[in-house]
Structure 1
């Protein structure tokens, strides 16, 4: 079914208020989820609410805790998310980086003791809206099997990069694994098979049963039990397809998040009672190197040349970000799509909190 984005946001704000988040923090959390749904990234939208609710009840997430600045220089920030949501600490940090970068030209932040932070692109776009280049990284729960290994050790370890351009910023936002776990969650909820070679079992055989993969990932992520298998790195199952490159990309994210933040690496975030993710944010002012409008024009020209290349009949060449901005405009008018299982979860959460659930359009 489809629901109005404004009604989705109202519902989320009311639920987060009941959960004990401040009005400001609840509004931010709601905005990040609605933003994901509007862009067609349903894996990181309102379907995450039931998961967030479980973590709040288990005190993995502490809604009343405030962000702490542990160390600050004119160009850097070390932040303790204090067991609250990653969106709160990451938004706080990127706002600070934007101010620093406009003065000095470049700045970065590392966040520890955090949780899931939604889409990495949300924070990269914050920088792009201010005429800056933005980068956002996170480690996650252990989901991903390294090259030639049998067991999950790495996170899906998202990487987002934005660059100011017209008619919208360039925004690349993706996992360093072949797919994010959220996409498998959505398939499992809706009893659909995995369409590609995304995951393997304990013997590194490809598995297409989304429910089985999700069950195994949950065991890995929320307990110390290791059933073996997991999501593949970019490049898939075989080293001959260069999956070591996806493995390397994921390790870069591990180094800049868990290691640099002095928090757990992804493999160790599944300790009972906590997640403890880490994030890394960077902002760069293009003015360090020249005129912003020239950079934007040159980027636009490059993207237009790529879009205009001869291509497969019936297909479209999309630059990263094109689909999401197109989806955003369409879904703002038509409403965001909610699958049946998520709709049932929202009804339960609404009943528990005495919050009216959005009606289908």
Structure 2
């Protein structure tokens, strides 16, 4: 079952939990903001649903509470950052801030970060730049999950890409895994006891796995030695464009692990404390190309032209960011959706840390 909970109270609960872990109040505020932002925009796979995974990482030492990101190579337009295995959200905010500052000074900022952690949704960091009048791009590699086209074992991560550009009435935000769906969406469907509706997961390279009760296969999703993995965007056949999702995943790998000289997806293991994801953060100042306000105005008109195209009866044409903006307004008024299984996980974490979750959830 899914219920709605007040976003402000939930923010305070997450803030208190992360302070109990030992994060500073400032850092805990940043963590809470990214998680609640994600749920308020309707992306349940990467909001508070992820707290149980972060809890496991913190307890195992894969996430180091006191670590701070450090610039180890820098030019006026670029930087390489060693995150020293701090929490991914904190590394991401720091890294995009560096990219934004460089873009404001030089027109463009490109940052690549290694030894990081799971940082949530790529679109959050891209939108950090858009909120300051810039174009933002962010991506991350991850543990193996994607089956390269025609392969029977996973090798690439879900390797998402986030892109954001200022627009009216709200920013354009494109955020997608280069697999058909992210790992977190599979987790949400299993918690809700819903079968997978399409070819999201395959075994032996091309055989669909749809039954949410198929623990024999679904529990092997993150095991690169198994014959089960997530399909690339485009599925398992070149006829449907599988090679395009596979290629996009490889492009992410180049901008994250290859340029930072960090860990490639297939080198990242859940139990190996010496390896971690790599990320990239790009900020671009549109004023390099002309009057910024006119560029944004023209782009906004372009998006409106798309929304006003003739639509299939009963359907609405959305551009990227529209649904998220609608979700945000609904969540602000009516609360954030949380399923019972995720709620139980959060309460268990809170209880162990001596946090009274009920005062925030009633």
Same fold? TM cut 0.5: yes
Point out where structure 1 has 5 or more consecutive residues left out of the alignment. 221-225
Match of 1:183 in 2: 185
The offset of 1:180, in angstroms, is 0.4
Partner residue, 1:304: 304
1:56 is matched with which residue? 58
Q: Distance in 2 between matches of 1:54 and 1:100?
A: 35
* Deviation at residue 360 of structure 1 after TM alignment: 4.7
2: CA distance between counterparts of 1:42 and 1:149?
30
Q: Deviations over 1:212-268 (max 9, x none)?
A: 354112444xxxxx1212000010122211211111111000111111111111111
Segments of structure 2 that go 5 or more residues without pairing to the other structure are: none
* Counterpart in the other structure of 2:354: 354
Who is 1:230 aligned against? 229
SS of 2:164's equivalent? Answer: strand
Q: 1:25-64 alignment to 2 at 5 Å?
A: 25-64=27-66
Kept in 1: contact 2:150–2:205 (CA 8 A): no
Task: Write out per-residue CA displacement over residues 16-62 of structure 1, whole angstroms, 9 at most, x where no aligned residue.
Answer: 11112122211111111000000000000001101110111111111
The 1-side partners of 2:300 and 2:119 are apart by 30
CA shift digits 1:265-289 (9 cap, x unpaired): 1111116333500001111100000
In the alignment, what sits opposite 1:294?
294
- Could you tell me which residue of structure 2 aligns to residue 215 of structure 1? 219
Secondary structure at 2:115 match in 1: strand
Aligned to 1:223: none
TM-score relative to the length of structure 1: 0.96
Kept in 2, the 8 Å contact 1:43–1:182? The answer is yes
Question: What is the rounded CA distance, in whole Å, between the counterparts of 1:186 and 1:97 in structure 2?
Answer: 33
Aligned to 1:99: 101
> What is the aligned residue count?
356
Could you tell me which residue of structure 1 aligns to residue 75 of structure 2? 73
| CA shift in 2, pair 1:98/1:261, >3 Å | same
The C-alpha deviation readout for 1:89-135, integer Å capped at 9, x for no partner, is: 11111112212211110111000000000111111111001110000
- What is the RMSD computed on CA atoms of the aligned residues? 1.3
Residue of structure 2 equivalent to 1:15: 17
Q: Say whether the 8 Å CA contact 1:59–1:273 is kept in structure 2.
A: no
